[in-house]
Amino acid sequence: MIHNLKLDKQNFHGSFSKDYQSILTIDSGDSVRLTTLDIQWGYSPSKGKERTFFTSRENEEKPGHPIIGPIAIRGAKPGMVLEVKLNDIVPGWYGQNWSGGFKSWQNEKLGLTDTEKIQLDWELSPTTMVGSSHIGERQFQVGLQPFMGLMGVAPAEPGIHTTAPPRNCGGNIDCKELVRGSSLFLPISVDEALFSVGDGHAAQGDGEVSGTAIECPMDLVDITLNLRDDVKLNTPRAMTPSGWITFGFHEDLNEATAVALDEMILLIQQFHNITKKEATALASATVDLHITQVVNGVKGVHAILPHGAIR
- Beta partners for residue 303, in sequence order: 246, 289
Give yes or no: residues 78 and 20 share one domain: yes
Average pLDDT over residues 267-289: 97
CA distance 18 to 154: 5
What pTM, to 2 d.p., does this model score? 0.94
Domain stop point among 229, 256, 276: 229
Q: What is the pLDDT of residues 60-92, one digit of tens each?
A: 989 999 999 999 999 999 999 999 999 999 999
What's the total number of domains in the chain?
A: 2
Average the pLDDT over 187-209 and give the result.
Answer: 97
Final residue in a domain of this structure, among 200, 229, 258: 229
| Residue 298, domain extent | 242-306
Same-domain check for residues 169 and 85: yes
Give the C-alpha separation, 214 to 73, whole Å.
Answer: 31
Predicted pLDDT of residue 100: 79
In a domain, 49, yes or no: no
Average pLDDT over residues 141-163: 97
Give me the amino acid identity at 122.
W
In a domain, 180, yes or no: yes
Residue where a domain stops, chosen among 229, 261, 285: 229
In a domain, 222, yes or no: yes
Average pLDDT, the chain: 95
Position 296: which residue type?
N
pLDDT by residue (tens digit) across 200-233?
999 999 999 999 999 999 999 999 999 999 989 9
Query: In this structure, are 158 and 278 located in the same domain?
Result: no
Of 64, 73, 84, give the one whose Cα is nearest residue 13. 64
Task: Kindly state the percentage of the chain with pLDDT values over 70.
Answer: 95
Answer yes or no: do 225 and 257 share one domain: no
Question: What does the pLDDT average to over 125-153?
Answer: 97
Per-residue pLDDT at 104: 64
Residue 18 resides in a domain = yes
Give the CATH number of the domain where residue 214 resides: 2.60.120.580
236 within a domain of the structure (yes/no): no
pLDDT at residue 208, as a whole number: 95
| Interior angle at CA 223, CA 172 and CA 124, nearest 5 | 70
Answer for the pair 104, 182: CB distance below 8 angstroms, yes or no: no
Mean pLDDT for 178-183 is 98
Residue 103 located in a structural domain: no
**Is residue 130 assigned to a domain?**
no
- The answer as to whether 106 is a domain residue is no
The answer to whether residue 108 scores a pLDDT higher than 80 is: no
Q: Is the per-residue pLDDT at 106 higher than 90?
A: no
Specify the pLDDT at position 113.
Answer: 63
Are 63 and 195 in the same domain? Answer: yes
